[in-house]
Amino acid sequence: MIHVVNGPNLNLLGRREPAIYGTRTLKSIQEELEELAFCNNEELSFFQSNHEGAILDYLQKLKEGDRVIINPGALAHSSISLRDCIVGTGIEAVEVHISNISAREAFRHNSLISPVCRGIISGLGADGYRLALTWFIERE
């Protein structure tokens, strides 16, 4: 199973700053991923929360080696707890950002979780989720 975890404000996709984040909703992204997973005999689990602790609780229930596509949103830039959770659980994570965080405000340039993820996909819009899922599927 591959877990797709989304952090704060990603439930607002489709109406939140469409010039930056596009017009696709989180639901439409999930539907696309479900179709790709189904065609590849893969199971997905989706989780989104605006609360850091809820995300940590979700990740802590996973097993070492579980695969996670994570868009931490702004938590990427501020959450040492999220970083420590990824390390402590031993999950294999790919970090996804819809916008190019390196081309935005200076405070967004540094992700605290990037160093503990297998990879990062940033700035390719909602396609980043599909690319991360494809990478996990093709590695099996």
Residue 107: CATH number of its domain? 3.40.50.9100
Domain that holds residue 41: 2-139
Helix (H/G/I), strand (E/B), else coil: 44 = strand
Helix (H) or strand (E) holding 55: helix 52-60
C-alpha span between 106 and 79 (Å, rounded)? 17
Alpha-carbon distance of 5 to 10, in angstroms, equals 10
pTM, 2 dp: 0.94
- Please determine, for residue 60, whether its predicted confidence score (pLDDT) is greater than 90: yes
For 69-126, the pLDDT digits (tens) are 999 999 999 999 999 999 999 999 999 999 988 878 787 788 999 999 999 999 999 9
**Residues noted as catalytic:** 21, 97
Give the chain's domain count: 1
Three-state DSSP class for 58? helix
For residue 76, which amino acid is it?
A
pLDDT at 101: 86
